[in-house]
Structure 1
Amino acid sequence: MSTGSVASGAGTAPKGCAHPPGCHTGELPVYASATVGARFWLLIEHSGPWASHLEDCSLPEDVHILIKRATRLGIRPQLIRRPGRRNPEETGIHVMIADSGSARPWIAEGVIAGPDDLNLDSVVAGVVPESCILVSEPVFLVCTHAKRNACCARIGLPLARSLAKTLPDTVWETSHVGGDRYAANLVCLPHGLYYGSMSQAAAIAAADAYRSGEVILDRFRGRAGIPEPLQAAEHFIRIHTGDLSVGGVAVESSRLDGAVTEAFLRGSGARFRVVVEPMTLTTPCGTACADTITTYRLVTLDRLTPVRYATSALI
């Protein structure tokens, strides 16, 4: 199989870039750049405004407490709001909780009176809190965090509004999700699938695919919660096998030898050995969004033995 390269996130930008050709258009590689530290999610509805960082936002004290508790437990907090409108303040705090790393990822929501009504310890144990109920519909997050990066708002806002017209009640604007250089960013929950450099048409296609249990490799950044080299390995297996099902490819084991990562994966009824190594590409932006991106090159891909057991949805 021919070699290739995939992108990884490195660094963030407080402001937008000059948008030269190739920047934010999907021409640059985005693969293997999903946020590694996002297995559990806490989404909190708050109309804004949002400061550059959540701890600096003007939020009710109860919301700040929730954010601090979630961060301490390794749960990724996100502020969310409905695209194109600012709802009046309501009684209680509307929250959604998601577990992207379990064998069967789930998302639940509820309205709580205060922080003590949401058991975040149960979330990291893989249990739905009693104050929330499971929801069957996926949730789509579009980063529109202007104070973090102007590009996220410039590109993300119209995308969020367009996607919300197609999929009402499932789309939310959200605060920084990681990887400003890949704006506009789309996150599909509960599986934590990341897409970047999204056009409105690409976002609709990705959302439709996810609702059908599949991914689209074009502009697919990867699956949150796993190391970037393993996201790269999954990406190359999907290219090799053509398996686009959300849970069709999974990592069994891996080891790091210097800068080189060797991984063993299963997919399409077989086991594979994949070796990837990092490389650096210079971007056309040359500004705040990104001067370079760290990417991964495929070194080796070997088919091993058939898999004689059912594959699970996630590692």
Structure 2
Amino acid sequence: MANGCEHFPALHTGAAPVLASATVGAKFWLLIEHSGPWAAYLDECKLPDKVHALIDRATSLGIRPQLIRRSGRRAAETTTTHIFVASSAGPEPWLAEGRFEDLNDLDLGSLVHGVVPESCILVNEPMFLVCTHGKRNACCARLGLPLARFLDENLPGGVWETSHVGGDRYAANLVCLPHGLYYGSMSQAAAIAAANAYRHGEVVLDRFRGRAGIPEPLQAAEHFVRSHTGEFSVGGVAVESSRSESGTTVCVVRCTSPRGSSRFRVVVEPAVFTPPCGMTCADEISTYRLAELRQLTPAVA
């Protein structure tokens, strides 16, 4: 088992920066209900051959596979496989659900084109994933399990435990689907605030890691514009263009609010957070700093 949380005395409290650390490669999701146990890696899990084949097929298409389970209870025995698929890409992310006897009936090709597979039904409520993958990292179980139970009590039906989502050092990790919003170092209070905000179409910047599927410098640029403007609607801030320039990333970021739409030039550069005394376990953490933020166009209704 990976290092326990005793080796990470302050990383999980919000003292370390978490911004711009959401998983870059997760635009499309395959979520398979499996009560466990979960091995450290999905290809080592004791799963039916047909499920391993589905995971391999998804991975080859660039779809992120996750195992999920209800907090504190096992799934009932059934001949079908319970699956969710989600697209976090584009302006209108979606989440859909299906149950399959033959997993070949699941059209993953439609998913990577942003189309709901015919065998699935759209889900209108958000889905909250809490990483509890203890065989991957002990902190994910020690911190994630009580958080998952707490959220499940307060948001019944909407919360699932999940396998590794990326960023063990940020446990407890919370992912909000379908938009793929990542939060890290979550306390119970921070998690319920983030979940309730997402249910109302908003982002909370406290402990917000970023949106999955977007390069990390662009996540940082969006974060700094949100902080500058106070625009917290999920779709209210988005990078329109970006380029690398002398070790920095230069972005044009659109911000849309009730006051109108405006654009900002944002320059971010890599930075390193060196843990202070008391965070003796931690390596230096790569992050980003704001080098420039300038409004290009006034808000136009």
1:86 to 74, 78, 82: 74
2:19 corresponds, among 31, 35, 39, to 31
Query: What does residue 245 of structure 1 align with?
Result: 233
Q: Normalised by the size of structure 2, how large is the TM-score? A: 0.95
**Contact 1:18 / 1:285 at 8 angstroms: preserved in 2?**
no
Show the counterpart of 1:186: 174
1:72 is aligned to 2:64: no
1:98 and 2:86 aligned = yes
Q: Percent identity?
A: 69
Q: Structure 2 stretches of 5 or more lacking a match?
A: none
- Partner in structure 1 of residue 108 of structure 2: 120
Offset, 1:307 = 5.5
Give the one of 152, 158, 161 matched to 1:170.
Answer: 158
Aligned partner of 2:287 in structure 1 is: 295
Q: Deviations over 1:54-111 (max 9, x none)?
A: 0010101111011001000000000000001112321211000000012200000000
Distance in 2, matches of 1:104 and 1:307, equals: 23
Task: Choose from 261, 267, 274 the match for 1:275.
Answer: 267
The CA distance in 1 between the partners of 2:279 and 2:137, in whole Å, is 14
Q: In the alignment, which residue of structure 1 is the partner of 2:128?
A: 140
Counterpart residue type for residue 208 of structure 1: N
CA contact (8 A) 2:151 2:159 kept: yes
- Could you say what secondary structure the match of 1:18 adopts? helix
Quote how far apart the aligned CAs of 1:14 are: 3.1
Aligned residue type for 1:301: L
- Aligned partners of 2:91 and 2:235 also within 8 Å: no
Deviates more, 1:83-92 or 1:258-267: 83-92
Name the amino acid aligned to 1:53.
Y
1:214 to 202, 212, 215: 202
Gaps of 5+ in 1: 1-12, 310-315
Checking the alignment, whether the CA contact within 8 Å between 2:89 and 2:114 is kept in structure 1 is: no
Hey, what does 1:154 align to over in structure 2?
142
Once the two structures are overlaid, the 10-residue window that deviates more, 123-132 or 18-27, is 18-27
Aligned to 2:45: 57
For residues 246 and 295 of structure 2, what CA distance do their matches in structure 1 show?
24
User: Do the aligned residues in 2 keep the contact of 1:266 with 1:307 (CA within 8 Å)?
Assistant: no
Q: Kindly provide the amino acid, as one letter, of the partner of residue 297 in structure 1.
A: R
Preserved contact between residue 17 and residue 285 of structure 1 (Cα < 8 Å):
no
Q: Aligned-pair distance for 1:210?
A: 0.2
Pick closer, same or farther for the CA change 1:242–1:230 going to 2, 3 Å.
same
1:226 aligned residue (214, 219, 228): 214
Q: Please report the RMSD computed on the Cα atoms of aligned residues, expressed in angstroms.
A: 1.4
4+ residue runs of structure 1 moved beyond 6 angstroms?
Answer: none
Q: Alignment length, in residue pairs? A: 295
Structure number with greater CO (CA < 8 Å, separation at least 6) is 1
